[in-house]
């Protein structure tokens, strides 16, 4: 049995709105979410813009402190900003950002970019840096000559490979991947995804994979969680999530994505049309936050926020329809 290395309980992250008329008003970017990630597992966290998925990533990595709840990693509480975390926790949890163009220092060569985490975390002795950097480039399938290049001399996919090599430099156990392929050309997306899957197997890495691309999760994630306005609407093992989606929001998203096989067609939900746009996180609707868009909304949905209900096989859903 694999151990849970991440445990997130009732996590909340609120941001003050600011301004003298908005005293004590907050944007509830994350409003009470729970999930775990096992060693070697990928949890796909999916949602539209404003759902809270990126705030979740930044809170797990320590860029934001938490408002309430807890995050633990290998049994240690890590619900604080990065500067208050121990060096060993920082070494073990790495992040790959969406845009490699802005996450790499343009004035440093690839060698300098990869050397920095080796120095900070004392991964090897300085005389071994060249060999270690060559090994990291091998892992991401880049030629050794690339260590002398600057980011501006690399393509988008190559920059992301360098960013992945930098994350691997500290020999982490977990990586937060914030839309790692969405800024890249379609032609290199598959290469990066396959590389991430191979590296996960080789190093038994745990991934928290943030994306708005639900179809990508079918082949990447072990479990999928879908976020809506700061809460998890549904979380399930990938097969159960795609074959038996229970939340109307999940059904709506799945009904609108293209399928490429008869098997996928068989499980595609009937087309569900949502009403309207995602509300502002500043003005979250009362009751179920999806009630303003849900075609199945009932009177109760406008008043009572549904609780998460767990079905067989760890398939959990937050919807009154599932409790009736």
Binding ligand SF4 (rule: CB under 6 A), the pick from 78, 147, 306, 316 is 306
Is residue 42 close enough to count as binding ligand SF4 by CB under 6 A?
no
Tokens of 10: 């009732």
Kindly state the smallest distance separating residue 296's Cβ from ligand SF4, in Å.
4
Q: Which of 16-29 are b and which e, b meaning 16 or more Cβ less than 10 Å from the residue's Cβ?
A: eeeeeeeeeebbbb
| Separation of alpha carbons 138 and 223, rounded Å | 29
Binding ligand SF4 (rule: CB under 6 A), the pick from 169, 189, 294, 316 is 294
Residue numbers 230-249 binding ligand SF4 by CB under 6 A: 248
| Contact partners, residue 86, CB within 8 Å, separation at least 6 | none
Span from 78-86, 182-190, 255-263, 285-293 in contact with ligand SF4 (CB under 6 A):
285-293
Is residue 320 close enough to count as binding ligand SF4 by CB under 6 A?
yes
Is residue 47 close enough to count as binding ligand SF4 by CB under 6 A?
no
3 state SS of 95: strand
Kindly state the smallest distance separating residue 242's Cβ from ligand SF4, in Å.
19
Is residue 317 close enough to count as binding ligand SF4 by CB under 6 A?
no
Is residue 51 close enough to count as binding ligand SF4 by CB under 6 A?
no
Site track 256-275 with ligand SF4 (rule: CB under 6 A), x = hit: --------------------
Angle at 169 between CA 172 and CA 174, to 5 degrees: 20
How does DSSP assign 256-302, residue by residue?
Answer: TS---SHHHHHHPPPP----SPPPPGGGPPSSSTTTTT-TT--GGGG
Span from 47-55, 121-129, 267-275, 287-295 in contact with ligand SF4 (CB under 6 A):
287-295
Kindly state the smallest distance separating residue 245's Cβ from ligand SF4, in Å.
12
3 state SS of 55: helix
Span from 50-58, 79-87, 204-212, 296-304 in contact with ligand SF4 (CB under 6 A):
296-304
Kindly state the smallest distance separating residue 232's Cβ from ligand SF4, in Å.
13
User: Looking at beta carbons only, is 192 or 294 nearer to ligand SF4?
Assistant: 294
| Separation of alpha carbons 230 and 208, rounded Å | 17
| Separation of alpha carbons 180 and 164, rounded Å | 9
Q: Where are the alpha helices (DSSP H) in the chain?
A: 53-61, 87-92, 100-103, 110-120, 129-139, 156-168, 186-203, 214-220, 238-243, 248-255, 262-267, 320-323
Kindly state the smallest distance separating residue 168's Cβ from ligand SF4, in Å.
40
| Contact partners, residue 300, CB within 8 Å, separation at least 6 | 287, 320
User: Looking at beta carbons only, is 308 or 321 nearer to ligand SF4?
Assistant: 321
Rule CB under 6 A: which residues touch ligand SF4? 248, 288, 290-291, 294, 296-298, 301, 306, 319-321
């Amino acid at each position: 049995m694999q151990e849970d290395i991440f445990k997130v309980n009732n996590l909340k992250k609120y941001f003050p709105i600011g301004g003298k008329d908005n005293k004590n008003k907050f944007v509830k970017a994350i409003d009470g979410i729970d999930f775990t990630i096992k060693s070697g597992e990928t949890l796909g966290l999916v949602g539209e813009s404003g759902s809270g998925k990126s705030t979740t990533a930044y809170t797990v990595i320590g860029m934001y402190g938490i408002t309430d709840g807890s995050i633990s990693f290998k049994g240690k509480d890590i619900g604080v900003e990065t500067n208050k975390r121990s060096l060993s926790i920082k070494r073990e949890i790495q992040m790959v950002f969406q845009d490699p163009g802005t996450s790499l220092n343009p004035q440093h060569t690839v060698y300098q970019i990869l050397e920095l985490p080796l120095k900070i975390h004392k991964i090897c002795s300085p005389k071994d840096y060249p060999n270690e950097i060559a090994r990291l480039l091998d892992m991401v399938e880049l030629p050794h000559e690339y260590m002398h290049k600057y980011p501006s001399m690399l393509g988008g996919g190559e920059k992301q490979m360098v960013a992945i090599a930098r994350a691997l430099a500290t020999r982490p156990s977990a990586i937060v991947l914030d839309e790692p392929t969405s800024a890249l050309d379609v032609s290199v997306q598959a290469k990066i995804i396959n590389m991430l899957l191979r590296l996960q197997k080789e190093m038994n890495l745990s991934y928290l994979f943030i994306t708005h691309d639900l179809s990508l999760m079918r082949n990447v994630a072990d479990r999928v969680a879908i976020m809506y306005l700061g809460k998890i609407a549904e979380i399930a093992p990938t097969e159960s999530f795609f074959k038996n989606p229970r939340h109307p929001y999940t059904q709506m998203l799945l009904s609108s994505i293209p399928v490429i096989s008869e098997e996928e067609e068989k499980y595609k939900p009937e087309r569900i049309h949502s009403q309207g746009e995602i509300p502002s996180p500043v003005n979250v609707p009362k009751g179920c936050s999806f009630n303003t868009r849900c075609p199945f909304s009932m009177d109760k949905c406008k008043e009572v926020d549904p609780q998460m209900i767990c079905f067989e096989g760890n398939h959990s859903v937050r919807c009154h329809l599932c409790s009736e």
